[in-house]
Amino acid sequence: MNKRILSIAVLAAVVFASCGTSKEKEATAEIQDAAAHDSDDFNYTADEFADLKLIRYQIPGFEELDLKKKELLYYLYEAAIVGRDIMYSQNYRHNLQIRKTLEAIIKNEEAINGNAEELEKLMVYTKRVWFSNGIHHHYSNKKFKPDFSRVYFEKAIGEIESENLPLKEGQTKEDLMATLGEVIFNPALDAKKVNLADGEDLVATSAVNFYSPDLTQVEVEAYYANLDKVEGDQPEYGLNTRLVKEDGKVVAETMMVGGLYTEAIEKIVFWLQKAVPLAENAQQKQTFESLITYYKTGKVVDWDKYNLNWIKDIDSRTDVVNGFIEVYNDPLGKKGSFESVVSFKDMEATKRIEAVSKEAQWFEDNSPLMEEHKKPNVTGIIGKVITVVVEAGDASPSTPIGINLPNNGWVREVGSKSVSLGNIVHAYEMSSKEGKSSLSEFAWDQAEIDRSKKYGGIADLLHTDLHEVIGHASGRINEGVGTTSETLKSYASCLEEGRADLVALYYLHDQKLVDMGLIESLDAGKTAYDDYIKNGMMLQLKRLDMGDQVEEAHMRNRQMIAKWAFEAGAKGSIIVKKMRDGKTFFVINDYEALKDIFGMQLRELQRIKSEGDYEAGKSLVEDYAVKVDPELHAEVLKRYESLGIAAYGGFINPKLVPVMTDGKITDIEVQYPESFKEQMMFYGENYSFLPVK
């Protein structure tokens, strides 16, 4: 599945691919320098509020592309943004009306008779809604608590003319006030977007809009169990549907032209059709056409035909991901969230990741997996570094820094693409130079700090490469064993992310990388190990409120690996917990022995996946990944408070503007919005196609 990954340096700092079993690591606001870059006076950091930091990124090399490629990227850019409303609706049934109401208030802010403090609090809440594509936190899944009052909110609505409000058919302004007032201000109502807590009804207690509110987990699972298997036993059946109950029967609404979200999907198809004549070659043209066919038919077999064409398109400089892809927002791991990433290949930077992909068979043959779980022939793995032009839906504003697709296991047997988002990583690096680092606070000694400064960048990049290119492509499921969403259920994403991370960790401290010329010393691997253990044991806890358990799949994965490794390593003092000045540190004494532990963990996670061992997978997650030490958590929060580092980072997209001469496009100009508010209000005005229903 689409796999998003967070690099080691990012992990060290706070510590996203699309991974059907992984949403691979979402980027954070802080990152160590990953590589040396020339000085740049571009203003990267644009805004900070709540626990968020907004960053602007550039599109280096765009101006050097020929006009045909620029125009093609412009059409794909439009096809991405026109679908943005879909993500809001998928996340929660009230999101679109809430967002449009907030935007109406902001447009009318000068006419609102209220105090500036309340207005500012409403503005911060609105930015959080924009960032998370809805009223639930993009990472913790908890509903935001508004700091402004309900009285102020209703008064602000009251001063707007009804025709300027997003009213449903037959709804009055008073109805709107009552409905949204309850949704926003009642903390118990739809409190979590995605609930993965063991023993609870994951459908009924999740607010995500893939299932109507009257459905239960038992009903949904029965629906899938009784479905006739589609051709080829393709596991992503239902990826683009929403389940509802009609006359007591569970039925599917399909996201397609003429179906659910048709108003936005028709726009996507319009711009994709304009891209077809500009395709770089016959294979890319066929890829675009098969994606259009899928949007028109809504059939999963057409989605797979598109993916098969997409992985064959290896010669084009330009590329696009567009569709219902990641399943992390579905508590049952079956429904895909809308997402789009438009890009072109960074030719020079791609050389590093290509070196990794060319050795895929060596990595598979020399892994610690059981022989019967190794792939005898690793084929079709394409790796590259891309320059992002725009992201939308599930990929924006919070973005992955690595992607591995497609998510469909049987298609991946034919081939896959793994990419690193080069200009996104660079923008993180540049913005991080303006703030403080967690390294000096959480590293045990100066030697660790010096080593991290020297090798943190390359360790970070190679972790991303190995996780995406080798990790998600490695191993095989035993014949007759179902897909991970069927066998491992709600634990599938966490376990798969952990498996891919362990592949990367195992090889980051291997002489092979030195022999390949990718690192100059195994000290890079030591840095990777230091960062991962610190993050999994402590640093990522800054993302949680006191009393919370770990619920997000990637945070669970990192804590599971780190705690499991610490327990195994403590017996031989491989990893030790030390105290200094009342502060906790986790110190690695034997890196080679820790590599062996990572290998043991990898072997077991692959066995669980290959055999579909639900009970073993559940036990690992519940024992190591979920529970939080409250004393350590309080300590981490206190230590981070003095640093003032935002827990999460996201991006403001560049804006593509066609230059017209005599009715024809003669160039595409890149503009960079100055603020998050500027961009999102522009999007709301020009890219809002789904009606409130």
Q: Based on the domain organization, do 440 and 523 belong to the same domain?
A: yes
Q: Based on the domain organization, do 549 and 644 belong to the same domain?
A: yes
Q: List, for residues 196-223, the tens digit of each pLDDT value.
A: 999 999 999 999 999 999 999 999 999 9
Q: Is residue 253 one of the residues assigned to a domain? A: no
Q: Token pair for residue 104? A: 């109406």
CA end-to-end span of the chain: 31
Q: Based on the domain organization, do 486 and 543 belong to the same domain?
A: yes
Looking at every residue in the chain, the average pLDDT score rounds to: 90
**pTM (whole model) above 0.75:** yes
Task: For residues 595 and 82, give the distance between their C-alpha atoms in angstroms, rounded to a whole number.
Answer: 46
Task: Identify the band that residue 12 occupies on the pLDDT scale cut at 50, 70 and 90.
Answer: very low
Sheet architecture: strand order including 337-345: 318-326, 337-345, 381-393, 416-421, 402-405
Task: Identify the band that residue 431 occupies on the pLDDT scale cut at 50, 70 and 90.
Answer: confident
Phi, psi of 408 (to 5 degrees): -65, 120
Phi, psi of 140 (to 5 degrees): -80, -20
Least confident of 11-15, 83-87, 556-560, 610-614: 11-15
For residues 654-673, average pLDDT: 97
Q: Is residue 223 one of the residues assigned to a domain? A: no
Q: Based on the domain organization, do 405 and 509 belong to the same domain?
A: yes
Q: Token pair for residue 671? A: 């503009």
Q: List, for residues 347-363, the tens digit of each pLDDT value.
A: 988 988 889 989 999 99
Range of the domain at 574: 2-66+261-650
Q: Is residue 295 one of the residues assigned to a domain? A: yes
Each as own residue / partner, the long-range contacts of residues 162-171 (CB below 8 Å, 24 or more positions apart, any chain) are 164/104, 164/107, 164/108, 165/100, 165/101, 165/104, 166/96, 166/97, 166/100, 166/101, 166/104, 166/692, 167/692, 168/97, 168/692, 168/693
Q: Token pair for residue 558? A: 């990192």
Q: Is residue 308 one of the residues assigned to a domain? A: yes
Chain centroid offset of residue 342 CA:
15
Q: Is residue 81 one of the residues assigned to a domain? A: no
Q: Does 17 have pLDDT greater than 50?
A: no
**Residue-level pLDDT at 314:** 93
Q: Based on the domain organization, do 57 and 176 belong to the same domain?
A: no
Task: Identify the band that residue 236 occupies on the pLDDT scale cut at 50, 70 and 90.
Answer: low
Q: Based on the domain organization, do 518 and 369 belong to the same domain?
A: yes
Q: Based on the domain organization, do 348 and 415 belong to the same domain?
A: yes
Helix, strand, or coil (residue 113): coil
Total count of domains within the chain: 2
**Residue-level pLDDT at 433:** 64
Q: Is residue 211 one of the residues assigned to a domain? A: no
Task: Identify the band that residue 381 occupies on the pLDDT scale cut at 50, 70 and 90.
Answer: confident
Q: Based on the domain organization, do 185 and 43 belong to the same domain?
A: no
How would you classify the pairing of strands 583-588 and 648-652? unpaired
Q: Based on the domain organization, do 482 and 611 belong to the same domain?
A: yes
- Last residue of some domain: 147, 167, 192? 192
Task: For residues 311 and 382, give the distance between their C-alpha atoms in angstroms, rounded to a whole number.
Answer: 8
Q: Does 500 have pLDDT greater than 70?
A: yes
- Last residue of some domain: 192, 209, 243? 192
Q: List, for residues 265-310, the tens digit of each pLDDT value.
A: 999 999 999 999 999 999 999 999 999 999 999 998 899 999 999 9
- Last residue of some domain: 192, 215, 239? 192
Q: Does 23 have pLDDT greater than 90?
A: no
**Residue-level pLDDT at 228:** 65
Q: Is residue 8 one of the residues assigned to a domain? A: yes
**Residue-level pLDDT at 409:** 76
Helix, strand, or coil (residue 549): coil
Q: Is residue 677 one of the residues assigned to a domain? A: no
For residues 164-177, average pLDDT: 96
How would you classify the pairing of strands 575-580 and 402-405? unpaired
Q: Based on the domain organization, do 140 and 278 belong to the same domain?
A: no
Least confident of 102-111, 242-251, 492-501: 102-111
Q: Based on the domain organization, do 44 and 114 belong to the same domain?
A: no
Q: Token pair for residue 75? A: 């059409």
- Residues forming beta bridges with residue 668, ordered by sequence position: 658
Q: Based on the domain organization, do 59 and 115 belong to the same domain?
A: no
